[in-house]
Amino acid sequence: MPASESTASYLRRGGLALIAVGLAGFFADYLFNVGLARVLPPHEYGDFRVAAAFAAFFGVAVLLGGDRAAPKALAGPLERGETARAWEYLRFYFELALGLWLVLAALTWTASYLHVGHVDPKDHHAIAWVVLIVPFSAAGALVSRALQSAKRPVLASWPWRIGVPLLSLVLLAVLAWIRQGRRILVQEAVLVAMASVVVVTAAQWWLLRRLDLPTLGRDPASRTPRLWVTASMPMMGAFLVMLALNQSDLYFLELLGEEHEVGHYAAAATSAHFLLIVQTALVGLVAPLTQPALERGREAFESTFRQSQRLMLSAVVPVAAVLWLGATPILGLFGPSFVNAVPVLDLLTASNLAWAVAALSVLRLQYTGHGPWIIFIAFAALVADSLGNLLLIPTYGMQGAAASTLATTILAAAAVLAARRRLGA
């Protein structure tokens, strides 16, 4: 079978499967967030989302991009059956993540003990609890990327997209039943999320071992940490800056806006995140194809990119349309007051759609050695969005935050497309 046909078949089957997983995962995550918003006051729901954003950010940061670069480093060895080499890669990043987490935990707990940024000396922000999730989240991300590198995208994605929110929802329901109508604390919600992440991480590691993908024997000759980190750091930098861009609105609203608006904005961001789930899933589907396509030559690389871009657009545009048309009933499930965030959902959907259009060009620049350009563009967007938040939130609240994100994301996406053409990547 010609390579182009094989690629088309893989993208078509994998794309449909991952979109289905993304859809199911979105509804599972949506139900969990709706349940959480129902049992927590809006400001505590906002605290939980801020803490969850912290865990998501540092769950990636402690890996220094090892999960991002895994398909580039592992796709070839796994395809050739060099599983001991794959284990050296995973082992190195497991150890690195654990060491960096210990530093992060010490700093976080010290800040919490000193009540940095918190006015109540009897209380601690949920971040002090959520930092415990970080090493498990990092390990799970790395294991998931190993499965993705072995061209098992569904096995890589569904435990996190569907398993974690569904298990969290079940545990939340059990907790509500045990409390028998008494108020659930935000710290307990964090513990529910942590339990779900631990269970799914352990299950996915068991699955990886059942498939015998990493042979646990050593292969020191293939251990090249300097080369790995050199490749992974630009990918991490770009991802973290874009993640910070997506999450900075919550932090700025926490500091500058009305407290209840943090929860309302979080509900809109949760809903708009479905588009990012689809985008991320499709980028993950394409990533294991990119390096082999580059090695086959320019024509194969261009063919893979064109097919992937068509798949991306055919998936994200309908999702955006559903979010725009159904904004009111979608947010209404969180509670009557959350409908006030409909304009925020509209703006964030447009923002996520703009970035989805450029997402595969980002991957292309990273795999052709132009990762620093992505970091520069993303960092410039983060600075611009921060300035926009400072200017707009005091006057326009959560709508100002969403408008700032939309403007900077459109500019960042345009810059990525322009850089790809200018560099000939």
Q: What is the pLDDT of residues 358-406, one digit of tens each?
A: 999 988 998 888 888 888 888 898 899 999 999 999 999 999 999 999 9
* Among 404, 364, 397, residue whose Cα is nearest residue 381: 404
Residue 61: pLDDT over 70: yes
Alpha-carbon span 324 to 347, nearest angstrom: 9
Burial of 41 per CB tally in 10 Å (0-12, 13-18, 19+)? middle
Percent of the chain at pLDDT exceeding 70: 90
pLDDT of the residue at 401: 94
Q: Which DSSP symbol is given to 300?
A: H
Greater pLDDT, 115 or 317:
317
Helix residue spans in 257-370 (DSSP H):
259-296, 298-325, 327-332, 342-367
Closest CA to 264 of 255, 276, 254: 254
* Contact indicator for 69, 148 with CB cutoff of 8 Å: no
Nearest to 89 by CA among 6, 160, 146, 39: 146
pTM of the model: 0.68
* Residue given tokens 């050739």 in the structure block: 80
pLDDT band at 346 (very low <50, low <70, confident <90, very high): very high
- The rounded distance, in Å, linking the Cα atoms of 412 and 113 is 38
Mean pLDDT value of segment 254-271: 84
Q: Is the pLDDT of residue 328 over 60?
A: yes
Mean pLDDT taken over the chain: 83
Q: Give the mean model confidence (pLDDT) for residues 263-278.
A: 86
Query: How far is 60 from 39, CA to CA, in rounded Å?
Result: 29
pLDDT greater than 60 at residue 258: yes
Asked whether 311 and 15 are in contact (CB, 8 A), the reply is yes
C-alpha 405/C-alpha 411 separation (Å) is 10
d(CA 412, CA 416): 6
Min mean pLDDT across 71-80, 214-223, 290-299, 309-318 is at 214-223
Residue 15 has what pLDDT? Answer: 67
3-state secondary structure of 423: helix
**Res. 293 pLDDT band, cuts 50 70 90:** confident
pLDDT of residue 207: 85
Using CA atoms, how far apart are residues 43 and 261, in angstroms rounded to an integer?
Answer: 8
Q: How many angstroms separate the CA atoms of 38 and 279, rounded?
A: 29
In angstroms, the CA 386 to CA 226 distance is 33
Instruction: Provide the 8-state DSSP code for 213.
Output: -
pLDDT of the residue at 276: 84
- How many Cα atoms sit within 13 Å of 22 on the Cβ side? 25
Pick the more confident residue, 398 or 16.
Answer: 398
Residue 171 has pLDDT above 70, yes or no: yes
DSSP, res 176? H
Name which of 2-6, 142-146, 276-280 the model is least confident about: 2-6
The two tokens of residue 385 are 């969005």
Q: Which residue has the tokens 């298990």?
A: 167
122 against 113, higher pLDDT: 113
User: Which amino acid, 159?
Assistant: P
**pLDDT score of 5:** 46
Is residue 217 very low, low, confident or very high in pLDDT (cuts 50, 70, 90)?
Answer: low
- In which band, very low, low, confident or very high, does the pLDDT at 75 lie, cut at 50, 70 and 90? confident
* pLDDT band for position 349 (cuts 50, 70, 90): very high
How far apart, in whole angstroms, are the C-alpha atoms of residue 207 and residue 203? 6
Helix intervals (H) in 150-185: 153-158, 164-179
Rounded distance between C-alpha atoms, residue 312 and residue 310, angstroms? 5
342 vs 69, residue with greater confidence: 342
At residue 121, the pLDDT reads 38
What pLDDT does residue 214 have?
Answer: 65
Q: Helix 66-79 and helix 83-113: axis angle, to 10°?
A: 170
Find the mean pLDDT for residues 96-111. 91
> Tokens 């090695």 label which residue?
295
pLDDT of residue 122: 47
Banded model confidence at residue 419, pLDDT cuts 50, 70, 90:
very high
Q: Give 65's contacts (C-beta < 8 A, 6+ positions apart).
A: 229, 231, 232, 233, 234, 235, 236, 237, 239
Look at 26-35, 132-141, 218-227 and tell me which has the smallest mean pLDDT.
218-227
- The label of the residue with tokens 């209380």 reads 123
- Integer Cα distance of 176 and 190 in angstroms: 14
Does 1 have pLDDT greater than 60?
no
pLDDT at 186: 79
Encoded tokens for 305:
């990119």
Q: What pLDDT is attached to residue 417? A: 94
| Per-residue pLDDT, 37 | 82
Q: Return the closest-CA partner of residue 137 out of 81, 210, 201.
A: 201
Please count the helices (runs of H) and the strands (runs of E) in the chain: 15, 0
Question: d(Cα 49, Cα 265) in Å, to the nearest integer?
Answer: 10
Structure tokens at 327: 């904004």
